[in-house]
Chains A and B, each alone.
Chain A
Amino acid sequence: MKKTFPILGVLTAVLLIYALYQGLVVAPTERTMGDVQRIFYYHVPSAWTAFILFFINFGASVVYLIKRNPAADIVALVCAEVGVVFCTVVLITGPIWARPVWGIWWTWDMRLTSTLVLWLIYVSYLFLRRFSSGGQTPTLAAALAVLGALCVPFVYFSIWFFRTQHPQPVMGGGGSIDPRMLHALLINWLAFSCFAFLVCWSRYRLEKLQREVDQAHAMQSLLDPSGSVR
């Protein structure tokens, strides 16, 4: 177990470098947008990874609500936190791509606005976890996560249901994509998924350790020779 993490870390680093090479060098330059279109290879995989993490958060929250399993609670927390990081990348790389292509940084169209709302929901979830105290916090957070997850398919399908400036989806959108572009996209998605998995793993271990330390502090307070209850 101790050796697995560094090995996976090195493999993921190699995969990320290979994915960067695919996105910047191997994938052909798009005709109308030029090189700025290569933002696509970071923007879209980050969005997919965030969506998957939010779905895992949803599943873990449901498990926690049914079984009150602390491990499921940790998985939910970790996936929400890492998902917010990836969603932040989406919300920042999107406007950087939009500026040279649309001429504006931001527009309140359905895809962009719903992504911002999704991000705010999960930031609220993390604020709730961080600043609320008491035994009911994981339950309340799990309930919020279940409702928040409903927003994920809405964000994804918003470009089908509403007239929007955002391009149609790569998968199932009806358009075609150069095979080299698709390869670069999928490699980047795989690389970011592996990276997200490793970050989640580290964060899971950290959260578990944090809870053990909190328990040890509580035990020490109980066993305090002065007998004072903190």
Chain B
Amino acid sequence: MNGNPYLFAAYAVTWIIHIAYLGTIVRRYTRLRGEIEQLKKPGVRSSGNSD
């Protein structure tokens, strides 16, 4: 198999898309963990939005 720029681009773009999406899941999960920690603290009022 010879190096083909189109082939490389297609495979690279596929993984960039998947990794970017996984990154959004991890970011949302981290934010939620923070919110849960806030909720667990006694006497802390809700700061979450409803959107």
Number of A-B contacts (CB under 8 A): 90
A21 to chain B: closest CB distance in Å? 11
Q: Counting CB contacts under 8 A, is A109 at the interface?
A: no
Main SS class of interface, B: helix
Answer whether residue A97 sits at the interface, using C-beta atoms and an 8 A cutoff: yes
Question: Given A39-B6, A96-B10, A97-B10, A199–B48 Cβ distance below 8 Å?
Answer: no
B2, B14, B25: most-surrounded residue (chain A CB, <10 A): B14
Q: Which residues of B contact A39 (CB under 8 A)?
A: 6-7, 10-11
Q: How far is the CB of B7 from chain A (nearest CB, A)?
A: 5
B6:A36 contact, CB within 8 angstroms: yes
| Residue ID in chain B nearest A35 by CB atoms | B4
Question: Is B13's CB under 8 angstroms from A92's CB?
Answer: yes
A69 an interface residue at 8 Å Cβ cutoff?
Answer: no
A201 to chain B, nearest CB (A): 11
Determine the residue in chain A with the shortest Cβ distance to B28: A206
Residues of B within 8 A of A209 (CB): 29, 32, 36
Is the CB–CB distance between A100 and B6 below 8 Å?
yes
The 8 A CB mask of B27-51 against A (1 = contact, 0 = none) is 0110010011001000001101011
Residues of chain A contacted by B21 (CB below 8 angstroms): 82, 85, 199
Chain A stretch 194-230: residues in CB contact (< 8 A) with chain B: 195, 199, 202-203, 206, 209-210, 213-214, 216-218, 220-221, 224, 230
Which residue from chain B places its CB closest to the CB of A216 in the assembled complex?
B39
Contact A217 B39 (CB under 8 A): yes
Whether B14 lies near A46 (C-beta < 8 A) is: yes
**Residue A29 interfacial (CB < 8 Å):** yes
A29 engages B1 (CB within 8 Å): yes
Q: Which residues of B contact A202 (CB under 8 A)?
A: 25
Given A25-B1, A206-B29, decide whether A42 and B6 contact each other with a Cβ distance below 8 A.
no
A111 within 8 A of B: no
Chain A residues packing against B (C-beta within 8 Å): 20, 24-25, 29, 34-36, 38-39, 42-43, 46, 82, 85, 88-89, 92-93, 96-97, 99-100, 133, 195, 199, 202-203, 206, 209-210, 213-214, 216-218, 220-221, 224, 230
A-B contact pairs, 7 of them (CB 8 A): A38-B7, A42-B11, A82-B21, A92-B14, A195-B18, A220-B39, A221-B46
Contacts A25-B1, A34-B4, A89-B13 supplied; 7 other A-B pairs, CB < 8 Å: A39-B7, A82-B21, A89-B17, A92-B10, A206-B28, A209-B36, A220-B45
